[in-house]
Structures are given as structure tokens and as C-alpha cells.
Amino acid sequence: MTNEPEQKATGQLILIVDDERAIREMIGLALQQAGYRYLQAANAHEAELAIREDHPDMVLLDWMMPGLSGAEFARRLRRQEKTRTLPIIMVTAKTEEEDKIRGLDSGVDDYIAKPFSPGELIARIRALLRRSTSSNDSERLEQAGLMLDTASHRVLAGNIEIALGPTEFRLLKFFMGHAERVFSREQVLNHVWGDNVFIEDRTVDVHIRRLRKALESSGHDKLIQTVRGAGYRFSKTP
């Protein structure tokens, strides 16, 4: 784990996790030029220590690493209370659509394939941090036996807390705030992810599936309905 004491940037702190030093330094330079601070970790163990000690605002996570893979590490972070909502972008050489779906299924919020331009990476970072910040506005929504509280970032079904990652939380917040309305994938992207040309329509389907899976235990997964040929809606009744 390597801190960068010479940096003068005072922006948000981003942890770069990659076993290739050259990649870490390239990303670090791009982050520094964009006004971010950064830390480096070569593997999941170093990353875990950095998260515990330095509390980064975001993690850039390589998939293929020795020992614990990036996908497995992302799943571990999502299972832990303190890192459940930590924004994660997976950075990987895997480019097939199936790989992207597997990456998103591991709990990450976004996925960028190598090689990538520093400009694209910074745009994705800014978009995700902006979404994460906006979701912290204080609001409480109640629909169909679900209670969503943005201040505490909790979702309750009765007395049972439902664990959601940050993207699924924003998705549920959007749907609960617009119950019974049908939204196309493009509309969901624009409202939940913002005007970000890098995000694909397929990403919506992956996160919808993850949201439904999280709601299964309380039986609320059936409230997230697919409207054939139109998109998705949150219904107050199954």
C-alpha cells in the first residue's frame, strides 16, 4: 500500500487496486491532474488495510489479481456494513458482454475495459461520485410495506433491513418515488445514472436483477415489474 505524500490535490480520495505498478501510476497521474488524491494497493489484502485506515471515497478495482480476485473482493466489500455503499469501478481487460455482466453482478457500480483513455476514466469517476453524493440528500419514502431512508441509507421491510449496494439503493429510491409509472431503460439511465454516454442499456437490466434478488427475502421482488416492450415499473401491488 502506497500513499502519495507529494500530492497537492485536496479533492476526494480514491484507492487504486491493481497488481501492475505501471497501471497504478498511470491512473494516479490522471487522478492527480483532475484534482483527486489517491492511494495505491497491489492486491486485495493491501486494499482492505487502506480502506480500514484511510476511508477512501471510491475504489478503482482491477479484476485479475493474484490471490483474491477483484470480483471476489467486491463481493466481500458489499457484504460488510461499513463498505456496503462504497463506490466501486471495476477496471479490467475482460471486454466480453458476459464478463461485464459478471463484473456488475459482483457488486461494482461501473465497469471500464482496458485500454481506456484517462478522460473516459475521469468522466466515469465524476459521474459516480456525483450520483453517490446526491443520494445522500435526506428523504424518506414508504411504499407497499417498504421504507427507504436516504439519511441513514437503510431499506426496511417491516423490521427486516434489506442490504442494498449504492446503485440498487438509488434505483429503488427512483422507483419508489415514481410508483406505477413505466420507464424505459433509457429513462432509467438518465434519471438514476445521469446523462452519461458511457453507460450501456444492458447495465440497467443487471442492476434490476440485483435489486430483485435483494428484495426476494421479504417478497418485495415482485413489485419491480417488467413491462414487455416498454421498460420497468414499481407497482404498489404484486
Question: What are the tens digits of pLDDT across the range 208-217?
Answer: 998 999 999 8
Residue 6, pLDDT score = 40
Q: Of 100, 238, 230, 76, nearest to 165 (Cα)?
A: 76
pLDDT in tens, 137-165: 557 899 889 999 887 888 999 888 998 88
Residue at grid coordinates 461501473: 110
Residues in the chain: 238
This prediction has a pTM of 0.67
Alpha helices in 1-90 (DSSP H): 21-33, 44-54, 70-79
Q: Tell me how far apart the alpha carbons of residues 44 and 183 are, in angstroms, rounded to a whole number.
A: 38
